Amino acid sequence: MRAEYRILWHLPDGTTLESDGYAPLNLLAHAEILGIPLPQACGGQAECGTCRVRVLRGDLTPPSGDERVLVEDHRKQFAPDERLSCRARPRSDLELVLRRRRPRDLRED
């Protein structure tokens, strides 16, 4: 597979990583390839909201139905620039920020 994009990751410890980006892979898969410990309490099923990332720059696939429902049901828990890494796929070069603290599992509400 040939890289289509570049992804700049701002990690919680203040370091940054740059990686190749592939349109068929979601951001969670990209993080796993790099060994970035991105939380995923539900195994990437868009049920828990723990894999959220902030998008500083770039274009992602539109939110899927299950992601839209989760965000709507927990609107106060999401910042406007956050997306679920288990659902978002790159459509351009990206700049992302990972949260310093693991988000609360929204299934516990």
Nearest alpha-carbon partner for 29 in 14, 10, 47, 7: 7
- The distance from CA 35 to its chain's CA centroid, rounded to whole angstroms, is 14
Residues 43-97: pLDDT tens digits?
999 999 999 999 999 999 999 999 999 999 999 999 999 999 999 999 999 999 9
| Under 8 Å between Cβ of 53 and 74 | no
pTM of the model: 0.93
Q: Where are the domains of the chain?
A: 5-102
Return the CATH architecture of domain 5-102: Roll (3.10)
pLDDT exceeds 80 at position 109: no
- Give me the pLDDT at residue 101, please: 84
- Give me the pLDDT at residue 1, please: 81
